Structure 1
Amino acid sequence: MNYLKYTQYVYLAFAVYFIYDGVIKINEGNDGATLSFIIAGMAVFMFFFRRKFARKFDDRNKKQ
């Protein structure tokens, strides 16, 4: 399960993309910028959640 250490960074990539998308939408005056920022916030939350889960998983494996 070594891939769990790296999949958490996908969420950061999504967050960066949706922040960029939200800024572009604000500058163009389009609707939906708030939705992009909400999705970016959720992606950042998921990054920290997955990182905590991966650490917990590694600690459990080390104890066994």
Structure 2
Amino acid sequence: MKALKIFPYFYLFIGLLFIYDGVNKIIQNQEGYDFLWSFVIAAVAIFMFFFRKRSLKKFN
């Protein structure tokens, strides 16, 4: 049961890593729009964090 409480923070960590990756790609001026994928994945991960936290409250 403790794993269910810790698991949403994994999504938050992944989201922060992808935000960091996206900012690094912007700073390095990489060609194309690869940085957008990093921000999209970060947004989905952060959404999943809040969704899992909310659903965990409903589950309890």
TM over 0.5: yes
Question: Which residue is 1:42 aligned to?
Answer: 44
Matched residues, percent identical?
A: 47
Question: Which residue is 1:6 aligned to?
Answer: 6
The runs of 4+ residues in structure 1 deviating greater than 4 Å are: none
What is the SS of the residue equivalent to 1:3? helix
**RMSD, matched Cα:** 0.8
Question: Which residue is 1:61 aligned to?
Answer: none
Q: Which runs of 5+ in 2 are unaligned?
A: none
TM superposition shift of 1:3: 1.2
TM-score for the superposition, normalised by structure 2: 0.90
When Rg is computed on C-alpha atoms for both structures, the one with the higher figure is 1
Question: Which residue is 1:56 aligned to?
Answer: 58
TM-score for the superposition, normalised by structure 1: 0.85
Instruction: Report the count of equivalent residues.
Output: 58
Q: Which runs of 5+ in 1 are unaligned?
A: 59-64
Relative contact order higher in (CA < 8 Å, ≥ 6 apart): 2
Query: How far apart, CA to CA, are the structure 1 residues paired with 2:16 and 2:2?
Result: 24
The within-5 A match list for 1:22-33 is 22-30=22-30, 31=32, 32-33=34-35
Query: How far apart, CA to CA, are the structure 2 residues paired with 1:2 and 1:20?
Result: 28
